[in-house]
A and B are shown apart, each in its own frame.
Chain A
């Protein structure tokens, strides 16, 4: 006991004020506290060591840009300027039918198309995905309407919304002519003024604050203007 008291007196206020029995000079953490900390830290590190790589592995595709390709769909004379011709193109290679989609294509018609002509819209190629929630729309020539079978969306001849819940006009694909063939390229989205935006998923409006509430993603971008 006497021994102890002697030791105690040699300690600085710094150590003594912590009131740890049997503490060495300069000691600020009890052994129990140290062990508790070790248990939490080591456990956390060990768990993070398998959780973080797994989550990163699953999240990987969210940050990877997918390559877009151009695909010939036929000679220019196949496409009239007052009605649409359906063509099947491949979006994703290697998975057969599941990677394909239908696009409706017609020639640019100055009487009905309001957007300025440029190198990518000599032909208007509309996606068949309803911009409400992605159901397959069908072009009805008699009424010149695209009709969605799910929740009542209706689109006009340029893909503009004429009724129902869709939030923006039908998505489009870039088109160009190469070697006497019309080629369909990457997809892009449009707002009600037909301005081009990076592709968004259905249900995401692009008017007003829409493009900020539903930002574009690293995986798929529109072509640089």
Chain B
């Protein structure tokens, strides 16, 4: 076979020698290097990851005309989730999932003894309520604006899964302080699952790790609340956001495009 002569591949942008800026001398002084250090650090990362394009695609995409404050509910939910994640991770540093008294004692210790303990636990506790409200409001907005319709059906389905998982977080989370309300709400919640025909009884034994409430029950709920559900939540939030960026946020349903076509070119 005759050898094909391929053209030389183009030099990557980062390797093209840059022209000097007008007004500078040929030498680069240490001060100049220091001044440019931020940019060169980003350049260094971008040369090795090509993330700049993705960041530009995400941040400088156009959002349609008429976008208003109702459209901040989703990101507000995301923010509440981040707040829950961070406060939760730090609460886990003091919490002991021990049914023989350790769990309640550790939460009492967090609340009464640890510096800022009650504040951080309060943020986590009330953050859950705020997150539920925001999820509901976000869903109501999506519903009344018809934003779940073509081509965003899949994102609605992911959103419903996120809503359910948020409720699961609430349910598994409030066993952890191990006070009366925690215990009895968990008993009732588990028994509600048990009323599922055929699988219910086995599902209950799985959730409790046995026919009665034991040490393993609390450990199970702790693991689900700390790792399993937050992991799934984070992954699905990623998918949810990707689809939002890909499909674009909806315009308010009453918004009509301007006839003249005076398109704002900024960032297009």
CB pair A202 B201 closer than 8 Å: no
How many angstroms between the C-alpha atoms of A135 and B181 in the bound complex? 11
Interface residues of A in 80-102 (CB under 8 A from B): 91-92, 94-99
Decide if A201 touches B204 in the complex (CB within 8 Å).
yes
Q: Does B118 contact A (CB under 8 A)?
A: no
Known A-B contacts A134-B187, A203-B192, A204-B195; the reply to A66 vs B201 at CB < 8 A is no
CB distance from A50 to the nearest CB of B (A): 15
- Spot the interface stretch: B17-25, B67-75, B83-91, B205-213: B205-213
**Interchain CB contact (< 8 A) of A135 among B101, B188, B194:** B188
Taking chain A's interface residues, is the majority helix, strand, or loop, or is none over half, making it mixed?
loop
Considering the chains assembled together, what is the distance between the CA atoms of A213 and B191 in angstroms?
A: 15
**Docked-complex contact B101 and A97, CB < 8 angstroms:** yes
Query: What 8 new A-B contacts, CB under 8 Å, besides A92-B212, A219-B210?
Result: A66-B211, A96-B99, A129-B187, A134-B191, A200-B201, A201-B191, A203-B191, A203-B192
B166 is an interface residue with CB less than 8 A from chain A = no
Task: Judge whether B39 is part of the interface by a CB distance below 8 angstroms.
Answer: no
Q: How far is the CA of A201 from the CA of B194 in the complex (A)?
A: 7
B interface, how many residues as a size bin?
A: 20 to 34
Report how far A121 CA is from B213 CA in the complex, Å: 26
Chain A residues, Cβ within 8 Å of B106: none
| B216 is an interface residue with CB less than 8 A from chain A | yes
Contacts of B216 in A (CB 8 A): 61
Least distance between A153 CB and chain B CB atoms (Å): 12
A-B contact pairs, 10 of them (CB 8 A): A62-B202, A66-B212, A94-B215, A96-B100, A98-B99, A201-B201, A204-B194, A204-B201, A214-B197, A215-B201
Closest B residue to A61 by beta carbon equals B209
Is A216 at the interface (CB under 8 A from chain B)? Answer: yes
Q: Which residues does chain B contribute within 8 Å of A133, judged by CB atoms?
A: 187-188, 191-192
Please measure, in the bound complex, the distance between the C-alpha atom of A97 and the C-alpha atom of B210, giving whole angstroms.
Answer: 18
Q: Does B214 contact A (CB under 8 A)?
A: yes
Q: Report the separation of the CA atoms of residues A40 and B99 in the bound assembly, to the nearest whole angstrom.
A: 44
Q: Are B198 and A213 in contact (CB under 8 A)?
A: yes
CA distance A202 to B187 in the complex (A): 10
- Chain B residues, Cβ within 8 Å of A94: 100, 215
Q: How far is the CA of A203 from the CA of B200 in the complex (A)?
A: 10
Q: Given A92-B212, A98-B99, is A61 in contact with B205 using a C-beta cutoff of 8 Å?
A: yes
Q: Which of A58, A95, A199, A214 contacts B99 (CB 8 A)?
A: A95
The 10 tightest CB contacts between A and B, nearest first, are A220-B211, A201-B194, A203-B195, A61-B209, A96-B100, A98-B99, A134-B191, A134-B187, A219-B211, A133-B191
Contact with B along A56-91 (1 / 0, CB 8 A): 001101101010000000000000000000000001
